[in-house]
Amino acid sequence: MRLGAQRRAQLKLGALALGVPEPFQPASLLMPFSIFGLSPALLRAVGLKSYLAPTPIQLAAIPAAIAGHDVLGSAQTGSGKTVAFALPLLQKLMQSTPEKPRRLRALILVPTRELAAQVGGEIYSLAQHLPQVLKIVTVFGGVSINPQMMNLRGGADIVVATPGRLLDLVTHNALQLGDVSVLVLDEADRLLDLGFSAELDRLLALLPSARQSLFFSATFPAGVLDLAEKLLRDPVRIEVPAEPQTVPDIVQRAIEVDPGRRTQLLRHLIQENHWKRVLVFVATKHAAEIVAEKLRKARINAEPFHGELSQGKRSQVLADFKASRLKVVVATDVASRGLDIAQLPVVVNYDLPRSALDYVHRIGRTGRAGESGVAVSFISADGEGHFRLIEKHQGQNVAREHIVGFEPTPLPPHDEQSGSDDAAPVNNGGVKGLRPSKKDKLRAAAAQAARAQA
């Protein structure tokens, strides 16, 4: 792949892809979906879903994908990326002759079970009115593999999968990847963040080299660009900036508190503010279990949500939360993308995320679809430096607050004249790229030992 080639030129809001002269006008004022040359059946499906006009990512990606180009596309969550690759994919499959048994022709890889179900459901609904019946199968872990293997008997046209379960199915000879003509990586940055790099390498080695590849990601970190460099052929690169008018109405709060009093403060805020539903983010699965248990003991209806729960349990927790039968969900970052919970009023960062980008995705669970929301972050003394980096990434400052009765313990003064380093060190909070290296840790340990012997 030559990212410096002519086709790499960034397409701003699809204007170049469609030959629309600048200044580019809002999509809703320009054109309907019929400008893409989609089949009448697909246009009918789009109309039934009340999609009145293409979004910016759809304007740019759909023509490129229909033309057969590889695509490297970046747009924020909720921007319509699924439709941007689903329509060209379905258009392509309609133009080929069906075979029996069915050969897997399109593979869509996603990072989480919830996103797999969401993407699979969207594609299924768009394919309902096609003259050719397509078999669309969604597979993911956390549930028994046997029903999925049974569902794959006779083959499938499209498979939406998480990498781990897909490898299991390949190992069980439930499907073959040698005939895949279109590969889609959705939320590619998240796939790498969640540690799927080894699984992706194994799966990609099983795919034919002659295929079309579509990569969609909220960001283009180094890992995504490296993967694209290896796998994409002269791609159209698309970057759609967030439109100012679509920025959600989220009030951000930063409350300083000692780590040991965070659960008490959380309980106080829920009761004092009469929050009906709260999504709380923590760093680990263990923390999700512990915090949820402590809230239940305080008679607050709470459940944990993390990757080790069965899919049945995760689905039940989400269903109860969406129906307001559950007040608090304590989740790891598995819930920071792919979840669309209508009218969620509050998100709490009990633990700060590892990266500034994850912070954006977390707080983006509230303030959706024109609603307002509140995002609260608990800031401890060793997390202050981390939160400053998050603020810098956002280009704004969030005022620090103290809640009466939960004021943080003052730090001991730092003796600059003596050069003492006895004060608590600044913790970068695990921000990617800023965590201490092994050498840094060894140097710090040696310095501490030397001070102890002095």
pLDDT tens sequence for the chain (454 residues): 333 433 433 443 333 333 333 333 344 444 688 899 999 999 988 888 878 788 889 999 999 999 999 999 987 766 788 999 999 999 999 887 767 778 999 999 998 888 898 899 999 999 988 888 899 999 998 889 999 999 999 899 999 999 999 999 999 999 999 999 999 999 888 888 777 888 888 999 999 999 999 999 887 778 888 888 888 999 999 988 755 444 467 899 999 999 999 999 999 999 999 999 999 999 999 999 999 999 999 999 999 998 888 878 888 898 899 888 999 999 998 766 656 677 788 999 999 998 887 888 888 888 766 678 899 999 999 999 999 999 998 888 999 999 999 999 886 665 444 443 333 334 444 444 444 545 455 555 555 554 554 4
User: The pTM is what?
Assistant: 0.61
- Residue 200's region, left for phi above 0, alpha for psi from -120 to 50, else beta, is alpha
Residues 232 and 97 in one domain: yes
Residues 119 and 39 in one domain: yes
- Give the end of a domain, one of 217, 240, 263: 240
Domain with 92 in it: 6-240
Residues 304 and 364 in one domain: yes
Tell me the CA distances in angstroms from 41 to 87, 89, 119, 238, 273, one per residue in order.
11, 14, 20, 27, 50
H or E element that contains 249: strand 249-256
Name the amino acid, one letter, at 3: L
Indicate whether 438 belongs to any domain.
Answer: no
Indicate whether 407 belongs to any domain.
Answer: no
Indicate whether 406 belongs to any domain.
Answer: no
Indicate whether 422 belongs to any domain.
Answer: no
Residues 129 and 222 in one domain: yes
Residue 93: which of 154, 184, 17, 168 has the closest Cα? 184
Residues 293 and 198 in one domain: no
| H and E: helices and strands count for the chain | 16, 14
Indicate whether 290 belongs to any domain.
Answer: yes
CA distance 69 to 234: 8
Q: Tell me the CATH number at 322.
A: 3.40.50.300
pLDDT of residue 426: 40
Residues 106 and 202 in one domain: yes
Residues 224 and 300 in one domain: no
Query: Do residues 337 and 361 touch, judged by C-beta distance below 8 A?
Result: yes
Number of domains composing the chain: 2
Question: DSSP alpha helices (H): ranges in 21-139?
Answer: 40-48, 56-66, 81-94, 113-127
Indicate whether 338 belongs to any domain.
Answer: yes
- Give the end of a domain, one of 240, 264, 289: 240
CA distance 283 to 380: 14
Residues 94 and 225 in one domain: yes
Q: Which residues fall within 8 angstroms of residue 418, CB to CB, at 6 or more apart?
A: none
Residues 334 and 229 in one domain: no
Residues 24 and 135 in one domain: yes
Whether omega before 23 lies within 30 degrees of 0, making that bond cis, reads yes
Query: Do residues 119 and 158 touch, judged by C-beta distance below 8 A?
Result: no
Q: Which residues lie across from 153 on neighbouring strands?
A: none
Residues 177 and 236 in one domain: yes
pLDDT of residue 447: 52
Tell me the CA distances in angstroms from 167 to 15, 140, 176, 202, 260, one per residue in order.
39, 10, 10, 8, 42
Residue 9: which of 240, 239, 213, 237 has the closest Cα? 237
Indicate whether 23 belongs to any domain.
Answer: yes
- Give the end of a domain, one of 240, 262, 279: 240
CA distance 102 to 122: 21
